[in-house]
Structure 1
Amino acid sequence: MKERIERLQKRMQEEGLQACLISDHSAMEYFIHRQFSCGERLIALIITAQGLPKLVLNELFPLELPSDFELVRYNDTEDGVQIVSQFLTGKVGVDKFWPSGFLIRLMAQRPDLNLVDGNLVDRIRSVKDKEEQAKMRQASLNNDRVMARVRELIQIGKTEKQLEQEINAAFRELADSDPSFDTIVAFAENCADPHAVPGEKVLTEGMSVIVDMGCRFEGYCSDMTRTFFVGHNSMEAVYETVRQANLAGIAAVKPGVRFCDIDRACRQVIEQAGYGPYFIHRTGHGIGLSVHEPFDVSAVDEIVVEEGMCFSIEPGIYLPNVGGVRIEDLVLVTADGCEVLNHDPKDQPVL
């Protein structure tokens, strides 16, 4: 914990920030190793360029903090924003999760503050330390284990909803975890919706199946997508294009490249095959304590990749009213390339 705070404080000093105001629960867990759920009540972790970090927390929520932190209490008869403002001066980074109702009040109370985007926290979190890397590996290994079961669970006559429920049960049985996000199961033309909600569509011979799923290990998330065909399907050629795009994206990952370059490597394969307009989302996203973390593997993200970053490579092609294919793996950036955290095969889509 102390090392993470010190890393952030060093970056703050380099960029002239006097404080960072953090409200994202996963970011607070990253620094404090505690989970928080405060509903609509104000909570704020204030990290200054020097000195002990302060956690401003309503007295309704019992908590003991390590000695490296100062706990500042308030109650429902007090103005939490005013209490937060006491600890802020000069240039302050505010994370994107602090509710606008609190932020607007802070701006009105303290017009002297220079409030800026607090993405320094995102930069610190994006590079995983050795302990985090080990947890990310295990989360993905657990996800692989469940995906092997999924191949057995995909059976003609089941609905999308039934398969989703069976996958969620398999996570609890094989990974001792609930899903890290709502499991996506889609059949046939429903595969053209990247965020399809499982429904009552029944699986029949010749249909395609998309399964997008993940679990947690000691708080850290996995995320993987596989596309299957129950018998042969007209989308098999599309599948091979997406698989080659996935492999091209993985091959492009190494320290020093930009996220937009990795996106380009995937997108170019799909464009050359004539499906460019049907790759309708970013190539990937950061992952860790949250399923979606900065930074995006997208055409507009020019941030440079660093060793220790972990993110998804998930190109897809979606043909309206026909179907879709997505293949997703997580990669961990190494000194000279990347480690693919998923080991579930991608060359056996026909069941």
Structure 2
Amino acid sequence: MRIQAIQQSMAELGVRRFLISDPKAIEYVLGKRFHVSERFLACLFQDEEVVLFLNRLFPYENEAIEIVRFHDIDDPTLLLTQRLNGPDLSIDRQFASGFLLKCLKHRPDLNVSDGSFIVDRIRARKSKDEQAKMLLASQINDAVMGEVVDRLRVGVSEVDIAAFIRRRFDELADGVSFDPIVAFGSSTADPHAQCQDRKLEEGMPIIIDMGCIKDGYCSDMTRSFSLKKPWNQEIYDTVKEANLAGIRAVKPGVRLSEIDYAARKVIEEKGYGACFIHRLGHGIGTDVHEPFDVSGVSDVVAFEGMVFSIEPGIYLEGQGGVRIEDLVLVTEDGCDVLNAYPKSNEVLP
């Protein structure tokens, strides 16, 4: 069915040839993840045919498509270019430059363009089954966040909490969707802080950013806390309001850049604009980061079935930071928030 969706999207856009090289996108279309390392892997959609170029080291059968197999001593780019029935070729953004240069050497007449949007917009529109799987993954995330909070006590370390998160997601789901970010104190000023053996103390800011994989789909959520007493109530309240403003802005027909602005404006009006140093969000599905970016430069328009994060943050270098992240599902007239863990218990007893 996803093959037909790609072909329909190509027809709507007037694209005759499209090459997918991203293993994650190929898995989405064919239902099989290939771990080929540096070797060539590509799926060509051309008119009515679908051709997978696959090294013989990786056995695979699929009656719905044609498979062109090759050895390590073969030049797969030559096989590809010989198969093309015209000069215009759309490729995804992941197609390696080394392979592209070889293709151009074989076919100097090639007119190459970026066709990433063809598959991106299909992956971004989640079916009802996909939505249900993502909701379940978020419900597991909510439950484990509650268990994490129970363990945030004086003397516990970042690495201890991260290990607990991994263990619980191994038990309740299919593992983590990314390495958990557990940050205490000044390390919360780094949006991608690496877990260390730092011990929790009273009054320290805390950031927990985590997610799991369940039935092939990812969750992702961030909550910020402090222990016993507030770290910076104004910053927490500002980030929370920015998060809620971003969520309120989500509905079909709204540009993702406008959603970013709705949240960012709250932070800028409080004088912390320079401390919000990343985009507002990202798409999510079978991978924790998928198209499309929710950022000030995104001209993509939200449509029903999209799932993406809303995660504003304020970071004070050398001091600490706050980030609050939820996943939203775009509905007919707004959005549903997939996370249910509260944002009102920022000061832990």
**TM-score range normalised by the length of the shorter chain:** over 0.9
Aligned to 1:19: 17
Between the aligned partners of 1:234 and 1:34, the Cα distance in structure 2 is: 47
Q: C-alpha displacement at 1:62, in angstroms? A: 1.3
Aligned to 1:254: 251
Aligned to 1:340: 337
Select which of 199, 203, 207 maps to 2:200.
Answer: 203
Select which of 60, 63, 68 maps to 1:63.
Answer: 60
Instruction: For residues 247-275 of structure 1, give each alpha carbon's deviation from its aligned partner in whole angstroms, at most 9, with x where no partner exists.
Output: 00001000000001000100011111111
Asked if residue 185 in structure 1 is aligned to residue 204 in structure 2, the reply is no
Aligned to 2:260: 263
Q: Residue 191 of structure 1 contacts residue 208 of structure 1 at CA under 8 Å; is this kept in 2?
A: yes
Q: Residue 205 of structure 2 contacts residue 231 of structure 2 at CA under 8 Å; is this kept in 1?
A: no
Asked if residue 84 in structure 1 is aligned to residue 52 in structure 2, the reply is no
Q: C-alpha displacement at 1:90, in angstroms? A: 3.0
Q: Residue 267 of structure 2 contacts residue 276 of structure 2 at CA under 8 Å; is this kept in 1?
A: yes
Q: C-alpha displacement at 1:155, in angstroms? A: 2.0
Select which of 167, 170, 175 maps to 1:169.
Answer: 167
Between the aligned partners of 1:152 and 1:108, the Cα distance in structure 2 is: 60
- How many residues are matched? 346
Between the aligned partners of 1:124 and 1:309, the Cα distance in structure 2 is: 10
Q: Residue 245 of structure 2 contacts residue 263 of structure 2 at CA under 8 Å; is this kept in 1?
A: yes
Between the aligned partners of 1:177 and 1:13, the Cα distance in structure 2 is: 37
Letter paired with 1:20: F
Instruction: For residues 267-313 of structure 1, give each alpha carbon's deviation from its aligned partner in whole angstroms, at most 9, with x where no partner exists.
Output: 01111111111011000001111111111110110111110111000
Between the aligned partners of 1:144 and 1:44, the Cα distance in structure 2 is: 38
Q: C-alpha displacement at 1:239, in angstroms? A: 0.6
Between the aligned partners of 2:13 and 2:328, the Cα distance in structure 1 is: 29
SS in 2 for 1:344: coil
Q: C-alpha displacement at 1:234, in angstroms? A: 3.2
Aligned to 2:237: 240
Aligned to 2:143: 145
Q: Residue 18 of structure 1 contacts residue 90 of structure 1 at CA under 8 Å; is this kept in 2?
A: no
Between the aligned partners of 1:336 and 1:327, the Cα distance in structure 2 is: 24
Letter paired with 2:296: A
Asked if residue 321 in structure 1 is aligned to residue 315 in structure 2, the reply is no
Structure-1-length-normalised TM-score: 0.96
Between the aligned partners of 1:122 and 1:87, the Cα distance in structure 2 is: 25
Between the aligned partners of 1:47 and 1:141, the Cα distance in structure 2 is: 37
Instruction: For residues 46-98 of structure 1, give each alpha carbon's deviation from its aligned partner in whole angstroms, at most 9, with x where no partner exists.
Output: 122323x1111100111122x22222111112111111222323322111112
Change (3 A) 1:124 1:90: farther
Aligned to 2:309: 312
Between the aligned partners of 2:173 and 2:54, the Cα distance in structure 1 is: 31
Q: Please, which runs of 5 or more residues in structure 1 have no aligned partner?
A: none
Aligned to 2:300: 303
Structure-2-length-normalised TM-score: 0.96
Letter paired with 2:170: R
Aligned to 1:75: 71
Between the aligned partners of 1:204 and 1:86, the Cα distance in structure 2 is: 65
Q: C-alpha displacement at 1:195, in angstroms? A: 0.4
Aligned to 1:194: 191
Instruction: For residues 101-129 of structure 1, give each alpha carbon's deviation from its aligned partner in whole angstroms, at most 9, with x where no partner exists.
Output: 11111122112221111221112211111
Q: Residue 252 of structure 2 contacts residue 302 of structure 2 at CA under 8 Å; is this kept in 1?
A: yes
Letter paired with 1:25: P
Overall identity of the aligned pairs, in %? 51
SS in 2 for 1:86: helix
Which moved further from structure 2: 224-233 or 13-22?
Answer: 13-22
Select which of 208, 213, 216 maps to 1:216.
Answer: 213
Aligned to 1:129: 127
Q: Residue 327 of structure 2 contacts residue 339 of structure 2 at CA under 8 Å; is this kept in 1?
A: yes
